[in-house]
Structure 1
Amino acid sequence: MKSKLLMSAIAMPAALALGTSAFAQDTTPPPAAAPPAAERMETTPAPTTVTPAPGAAAETTATGAFATAQSADEWRSSRLVGTAVYNEANERVGDISELVLDDNGQIEHVVIGVGGFLGIGEKLVAVSFKDLNIAREENGNARVTMNTTKEALQNAPDYKYHTTGGMGTSD
C-alpha cells in the first residue's frame, strides 16, 4: 500500500508536467491584426542637416550623423582617464582622473590627481583642457604634457565635484 501511494505521489506531478508542456507546444498565438488604414499614421521625420567634425568618418541619416570609425585625430575618453601628465621637464606631475564636459558636450576641464599613493591622499585639481598638449606616441598611447610644476598643482585649489544630483553627482 505504501509503495502504491508513493508511486502515485511521484507519477501525478510528472503526468501534470508532461501534460502542460505538451499543451504549451500545441497552442500558437493568433497573428496580430494590423490596425485599419484609417488608424495608421504615416509620418516622415523632418530632415536635419548635420555637419560631421573635420576628419570624422560619418554617415548622414535623416535624423543625424553616425560615426562609423574613429579618426586618427580623435581620442577616446577611456584612453585619457588614468594617463600620466608630464611637465615640459619630463617630470610626472599627476594623472588624469576625470574629463569635465560643458553643456555643449565639449571638454571644459581635466581633473588631475596629484600626490598620494594609489588614490589615497591624492589631491584633485582641475585645469583647462586647453592647457594640455596631447600627442600620440609611436605605440598609439597618449602623451599628455602641460606647462606647470608638481608644486604648482599641489598648491592649486582643490577641485570639488557638484553634488546636488544629476550628471555632476560624485561617486
Structure 2
Amino acid sequence: MKSNLLAAVLATSIISLTGAAYAAPVAGSETVGITVQEASIAAAGWSAQKQILHKPVYNDDKKKIGVIEDIIVSPGNSVSYAVVGVGGFLGIDRHDVLIPFNHFKAEGHRYLLPGANKAMLKSLPAFKYTK
C-alpha cells in the first residue's frame, strides 16, 4: 500500500515538473503562474532588487551623478522610467527626477547616463508620487 502511494506521489511530482497533464491554478479567467520556458527567460533577466535599485548612475566622465531609487512600470507592463535621486544626504534634500530607461547605457555593472551631469539633473522638474 505504501509503495502505491509513494509511486502516485512520485508520478504526480514528475508530471508537475515536466508540465505534462498539469492543471495550472486559475484566478478568475487567467492562469496563475508561468511556464517552464517563461521561467527560463525570466531567470536570464535582470533583478530590480539586486541589479538596478540603489545603484549609482555615472556620467561620461565616470563621475557619480545620482542613484536609481525606483523604477516605474507603465500600464503597458514595461519598465519605462527610472527615478534617479540627485544630491542630498541620506535622502534629505534629495532631488528625484524621472529618466526614461532607454536613455541609460549599461556598462558592466555600471549605469551610464551619457551627456548628463548633476546640475542638469537638478534642473529637471522634481518627480513626486501621486497619493
Q: TM-score range by the shorter chain?
A: 0.5 to 0.7
Q: Which runs of 5+ in 2 are unaligned?
A: 1-22, 25-34
Q: Does 1:70 align with 2:37?
A: no
Partner of 1:134: 106
Deviations 1:59-106 (A, max 9, x none): 25xxxxx404621xx211002110000001111000000000011221
Return the alpha-carbon distance in structure 2 between the equivalents of residues 123 and 151 of structure 1: 11
Distance in 2 between residues matched to 1:109 and 1:155, nearest whole Å = 18
Normalised TM-score (structure 1): 0.52
The letter for the 1-side match of 2:46 is W
Q: Could you say what the CA RMSD is over the residues aligned between the two structures, in angstroms? A: 1.9
Kindly indicate which of the two structures has a greater share of residues assigned to helix: 2
Q: Give the 5 Å matches for 1:139-158.
A: 142-147=109-114, 148-158=116-126
Q: Which runs of 5+ in 1 are unaligned?
A: 1-43, 46-57, 61-65, 137-141, 164-171
SS at match of 1:89: coil
Give how far 1:123 is off: 0.6
Rounded to whole Å, the distance in 1 between the matches of 2:64 and 2:78 is 26
Other-structure match for 1:85: 57
Question: How far is 1:135 from its partner?
Answer: 3.0
One-letter code aligned to 2:121: L
Give 2:92's aligned amino acid. I
Counterpart Cα distance in 1 of 2:58 and 2:107: 12
Determine which structure has more spread, i.e. the larger CA radius of gyration: 1
Residue identity over aligned pairs, in percent, reads 26
> What is the SS of the residue equivalent to 1:88?
coil
Aligned to 2:36: 59
> Match for 2:101: what amino acid?
F
Relative contact order, CA 8 A, sep 6+: which one is greater? Answer: 2
Counterpart residue type for residue 76 of structure 1: S
Runs of 4+ residues deviating >6 angstroms = none
Alignment partner of 1:94 out of 66, 69, 88: 66
Q: Distance between the aligned counterparts of 1:133 and 1:119, measured in 2?
A: 25
The Cα shift of 1:118 comes to: 1.1
Aligned length: 96
Aligned match of 1:160 in 125, 128, 131? 128
CA distance in 1, matches of 2:83, 2:54: 11
